[in-house]
Structure 1
Amino acid sequence: MTLPEKEPEAKGQVSIKSNHIPVNTMPSGTREGIMIARTVCDGLPNAIEVERPHRDNGHLFILQEEGTTHIEIDFEEHHIAPSSIIYINPDQIHRLISFENATNTNWIITSENLNQENLNLLESITPVNALSLTPETQALIAETSSLCIRFSARKHEKLYNAILKESCNTLVSLVISQYLAKNTTTDNATRFEVITKSFKILLQRDFATVKSPSKYAERLNISTPYLNECVRATTGKSVSLHIQHRTILEAKRLLFHSNRSVKQIAGELGYSDYSYFTRLFTKITAMTPLAFRNKIFD
């Protein structure tokens, strides 16, 4: 989300639809694949790179300290209020809409620079909404991020890369801890929660090719009814519904960002029966794939 320094292009001169989803990369010369900064913004972003729907090539965190940030994530608008934080996974498509006297601390860190435990935990909690913070927790995260910003400026340090990487991983761990505390009421996750997290990780990786709940159950070495029981108890939705929703989300992304036909998208997402895919999309979204594509470009 970090605003680029280049001159913004005039509206109307940029075509949002392309044959791929734009990925914003960090500026050349960025050390260690980590960027962290505090920004004060009001009004429109005034930068096409963040106003258009895009992905980032790293894990994005936004700490909302003052004011409000309006952002769209995977076709849903979010209004991030003060004393809250939100995490955006590299797979999620998002765009900035506007700011209202917003003071934010934003940081992006690539997967290569996250320690494995943090990376695994982020995969297990995705997607998430903005999380409200207590004043004490907000102050702690703000202080930690300020320290990371100071570290990022000390490029003369002999161990600069290690200092920046480890400090930002500590900051990420602190944020993950808040999400985990919200999602679990006990110190130890229940077996249902552990199985559900494992299922979500498999689903994120294999949704385009594996559509059967029994296949996921087999990979987790449990029965299909037990997998359904775990997932439904934890999320309120069945395994089949999770598979369908994840697939339709990807279909929305492809309808928006590519010129592929609905039949091509259906095949890419593992549906050889184009008619079935259309019925499923309509069931989940209450509109046909073509109606969705036309609506978002109206």
Structure 2
Amino acid sequence: MQKHRASIPVRSWDSNFNGIAVVRIASEIPGSKEFNHAHRHDYHLFVLQESGISYTEIDFKKYLIDKPTILYQSPNQVHRALKVENISGFILTISNENLNADYLKLLQRNTPIEPLSLCSRTDLAIIQACFLLCRNLYDRKEDKLYHLQLKDSCNTLVALFMSQFLKQSKPAEKLSRFEIIQKAFSELLEQNFVHMKRPADYAAALNISVAYLNECVKNVTGFSVSHHIQQRIILEAKRLLYHSDKSVKEVAAELGYDDYPYFSRLFVKVAGITALTFRSKNHD
């Protein structure tokens, strides 16, 4: 049985962490026993798994990775390692302050990002080479421009990751009007779901009618605006219920619901079970 906490645990580096760390993985992830327990980070995490097998859970979705793969986890995502076998690769952790502002915006717009297998040997080789450079620079702490050269090289690595992820998505200039609206709605939802719960709130922010917003979102995703709002709220509720000892009433209040019975009914509608039943199904 999991030992519940007052809030979702957040993993931080030690006090010497200067906002960037580059780690080589060999057989076992450093501190991997801690990673078996669900947690968030207070930094961005970029992983290259070169070989081996890992089984990871991110926001209640499980991913089996058994080939060269890149993986990104944002500070908001709750995750844990379920299984790690003979793994090799690299990990970059980097704070908001050290990320290029344009790359940070891209990450925020595209999160969550699914793990991506690297089918091209050329793509794998250049990311490996960049990771190796970053790892070597990370050790050169006596260099006069240590932090600047490390920061610049790691942002190049982030750009390589984003380039791979963006290959899988449609270029902005090829997006339809419906897709542009849906993407803008998704960005607003991620930033405001606690305070904005009505489709009308999002339509007003985008300067369009509720009917047109619904038409755009449903055309692209197959689901209504209300569906997406409710799904995002209940995802956050699941995170809090699963990884903290807050009561259902406290979770409801944290997510902006003063009407506790209404929140309880909403949870059942979206999750298919009561909030207490969900909590009792402990995976740890």
Equivalent position of 1:111 in the other structure: 96
Aligned partner of 1:79 among 64, 76, 89: 64
SS in 2 for 1:180: helix
Contact 1:16/1:52 (8 A) holds in 2: no
Q: Which residue identity lines up with residue 80 of structure 1 in the other structure?
A: I
Alignment CA distance shift 1:117-1:235 (3 Å)? farther
Cα 1:164–1:196 shift into 2, 3 Å: farther
Q: Distance in 1 between matches of 2:148 and 2:61?
A: 37
Change in Cα spacing, 1:197 to 1:166, as seen in structure 2 (3 Å) is: farther
Which of 178, 194, 197 matches 2:164? 178
**Aligned counterpart in structure 2 of residue 127 of structure 1, from 94, 109, 112:** 112
**Does the 8 Å contact 2:7/2:246 carry over to 1?**
no
Determine the C-alpha separation between the residues in 2 that align with 1:266 and 1:188.
Answer: 40
How far has the Cα of 1:264 moved from its partner? 2.3
In the alignment, is the contact (CA less than 8 A) between 1:199 and 1:216 conserved in 2? yes
Select 2:262's aligned residue among 270, 276, 291. Answer: 276
Structure 1 residues 62, 46: CA separation in 2 closer, same or farther (over 3 Å shift)? closer
Is the 2:36–2:81 Cα contact (8 Å) retained in structure 1? yes
* CA displacement at 1:149 relative to structure 2: 0.9
1:102 aligns with 2:87: yes
Q: Distance in 1 between matches of 2:137 and 2:173?
A: 33
Q: 1:36 aligns with which of 15, 18, 22?
A: 22
What is the CA–CA distance in structure 2 between the aligned matches of 1:45 and 1:157, rounded to whole Å?
26
Q: Which of 156, 161, 183 is matched with 1:197 structurally?
A: 183
Tell me which amino acid in the other structure corresponds to 2:212: Y
Q: CA deviation at 1:53?
A: 0.8
Identity %: 46
Q: CA RMSD in A?
A: 2.1
Assess if the C-alpha contact under 8 Å between 1:73 and 1:95 holds in 2: yes
In 2: Cα distance, 1:148 partner to 1:191 partner: 40
Query: Which residue does 1:246 correspond to in 2?
Result: 232
Asked if structure 1 preserves the Cα contact closer than 8 Å seen for 2:188 and 2:202, the reply is yes
Residue in 2 that maps onto 1:8: none
The answer for the alignment partner of 1:222 in structure 2 is 208
CA pair 233-45 structure 1, distance change in 2 beyond 3 A: farther
Match of residue 21, structure 1, among 2, 8, 12: 8
Bigger Cα displacement from structure 2, 134-143 vs 228-237: 228-237
Q: For 2:236, give the aligned amino acid.
A: E
Is the 1:71–1:97 contact (alpha carbons within 8 Å) kept by the matching residues of 2?
yes
> Do residues 293 (structure 1) and 279 (structure 2) align?
yes
Secondary structure, aligned partner of 1:226 = helix
Q: Which runs of 5+ in 2 are unaligned?
A: none
Larger relative contact order, structure 1 or 2 (CA cutoff 8 Å, min sep 6):
2
Q: 1:96 to 1:214 in 2, by over 3 A?
A: same
Match of 1:137 among 123, 134, 140: 123
Deviations 1:176-219 (A, max 9, x none): 12111201167644443433332222212211111111111111
With over 3 angstroms needed to count, the CA separation of the structure-2 counterparts of 1:121 and 1:191, relative to structure 1, is farther
- Cα distance in 1 for residues equivalent to 2:161 and 2:189: 24
Q: How many residue pairs were aligned?
A: 283
Q: 2:43 aligns with which of 58, 67, 70?
A: 58
Please list, as runs of the form range in 1=range in 2, the aligned pairs for 1:255-270 lying within 5 A after superposition: 255-270=241-256
Structure 1 CA distance for aligned equivalents of residues 40 and 104 of structure 2 = 18
| Cα 1:131/1:91, change in 2 over 3 Å | same
The alignment's TM-score, normalised by the length of structure 1, stands at 0.87
Partner SS state of residue 296, structure 1: coil
Measure, in 2, the Cα distance between the counterparts of 1:60 and 1:128.
12
Give ranges in structure 1 of 5+ residues lacking alignment.
1-11
Greater Cα shift, 171-180 or 260-269: 260-269
By how many angstroms is 1:48 displaced?
Answer: 4.3
**Are residue 233 (structure 1) and residue 219 (structure 2) matched?**
yes
1:151 aligns with 2:176: no
Quote the offset at 1:107 in angstroms: 0.9
TM-score normalized by the length of structure 2 = 0.92
C-alpha contact (below 8 Å) 1:231/1:239 kept by paired residues: yes
Q: Is the 8 A contact 2:26 2:88 kept in 1?
A: yes
8 Å contact 1:52–1:95 — kept in the other structure?
A: yes
